[in-house]
């Protein structure tokens, strides 16, 4: 059944586990994620993000909403990294009510204004808003320690950010990075604790591909209730179609669905069993 992100995160927070949010690109990805939720009987979030919006956003969002509505398990559909008003309007028009308003590349005051405006729009349709304070790197390579710290979520500034924007969930920057971790992830757990102490809304960790079980467990214990996964699922798809042995199209689709379902089940179990 299609439900709101707030419903899924609320249940996870109450039961002290975290929800897996998967970025999907195609039919196979959507089916794999729903299969994994049904297999584990644990709710998940389907996510779409900007590069797809102008290609086949209309079709993919309809597919996600429809597949969620037909599922035996509660599923939410969320738009990840909406970084302009135009995108927010487009996404609302597509019928998606859970949106990340992403002003993280802007200067602080601009991020506040952009997030305020986006939040008002999304709350107007009774939607759910995730926003980011700090700036997630694609990689930490080449950053000095002060540069790295300056990009992280500032727990004190966060109070001002929250009071001005009234967001529903916060994406934290605590050493997590999008894509492949080139070195062992270096998560600033003390900062995460200070963030948790200063704000009580759900906390989200982007860049969750490649995080160890220990990092996941510690993060959940401090207060992370949503992990975003893109890279691992996407790589699963690419791996599954790299050796096709003259397979026909339906077999190829099955192969990639099976591979991605296996990865999604692993993540759902990891995030919910701690
Ligand atoms: P990964 O690509 O590291 O899995 O991160 C996904 C993400 O954070 C999407 O918002």
What pLDDT digit, counting tens, does each position of 225-248 carry? 999 999 999 999 999 999 888 899
Question: In Å, what is the CA distance from 71 to each residue of 17, 90, 119, 245?
Answer: 21, 25, 29, 32
80 is catalytic: yes
Predicted confidence at residue 148, as pLDDT, reads 72
Average pLDDT, the chain: 94
261 pLDDT tier (thresholds 50, 70, 90)? very high
pLDDT digits (tens, 9 = 90+) for 77-102: 999 999 999 999 999 999 999 999 99
CA–CA separation, 3 vs 151, rounded Å? 33
Residue 128: other Cβ atoms inside 10 A: 23
Predicted confidence (pLDDT) at residue 142 exceeds the cutoff of 70: no
Q: Closest ligand 1 atom, CA of 232?
A: 4
Does the CB atom of residue 80 touch ligand 1 within 6 A?
Answer: yes
Predicted confidence (pLDDT) at residue 206 exceeds the cutoff of 90: yes
Does the CB atom of residue 178 touch ligand 1 within 6 A?
Answer: yes
Predicted confidence (pLDDT) at residue 138 exceeds the cutoff of 80: no
- Closest Cα to atom 5, ligand 1: which residue? 207
Residue 47 φ/ψ region, left for φ over 0, alpha for ψ in the -120 to 50 degree band, beta for the rest: beta
Q: Closest ligand 1 atom, CA of 178?
A: 3
**Pairs from 111-117 (Cβ < 8 Å, separation ≥ 24):** 111/161, 112/160, 112/161, 112/164, 112/165, 114/85, 115/161, 115/165, 115/167, 116/164, 116/165, 116/166, 117/85
Q: What are phi and psi of 11, to 5 degrees?
A: -65, -40
Predicted confidence at residue 245, as pLDDT, reads 83
Q: How far is the CA of 206 from the centre of ligand 1 (A)?
A: 5
Q: Which of 74, 80, 110, 214 is catalytic?
A: 80
Average pLDDT over residues 135-155: 73
Does the CB atom of residue 229 touch ligand 1 within 6 A?
Answer: yes
């Amino acid at each position: 059944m299609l439900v709101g992100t707030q419903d899924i995160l609320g249940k996870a927070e109450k039961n002290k586990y975290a929800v897996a949010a998967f970025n999907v690109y195609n039919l196979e990805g959507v089916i794999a994620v729903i299969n994994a939720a049904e297999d584990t009987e644990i709710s998940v979030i389907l996510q779409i993000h900007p590069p797809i919006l102008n290609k086949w956003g209309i079709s993919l969002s309809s597919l996600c909403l429809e597949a969620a509505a037909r599922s035996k398990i509660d599923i939410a559909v969320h738009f990840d990294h909406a970084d302009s008003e135009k995108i927010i309007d487009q996404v609302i028009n597509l019928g998606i009510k859970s949106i990340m308003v992403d002003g993280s590349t802007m200067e602080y005051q601009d991020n506040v204004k952009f997030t305020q405006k986006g939040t008002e729009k999304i709350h107007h349709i009774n939607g759910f808003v995730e926003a980011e304070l700090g700036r997630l790197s694609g990689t930490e390579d080449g950053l000095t320690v002060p540069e790295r710290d300056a990009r992280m979520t500032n727990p004190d500034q966060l109070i001002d950010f929250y009071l001005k924007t009234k967001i529903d969930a916060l994406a934290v920057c605590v050493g997590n990075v999008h894509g492949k971790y080139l070195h062992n992830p270096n998560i600033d757990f003390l900062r995460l604790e200070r963030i948790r102490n200063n704000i009580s809304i759900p906390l989200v960790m982007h860049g969750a591909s490649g995080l160890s079980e220990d990092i996941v467990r510690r993060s959940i214990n401090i207060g992370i209730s949503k992990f975003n996964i893109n890279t691992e699922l996407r790589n699963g798809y690419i791996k599954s179609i790299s050796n096709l042995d003259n397979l026909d199209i339906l077999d190829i689709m099955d192969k990639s669905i099976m591979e991605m379902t296996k990865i999604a089940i692993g993540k759902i179990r990891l995030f919910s069993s701690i």
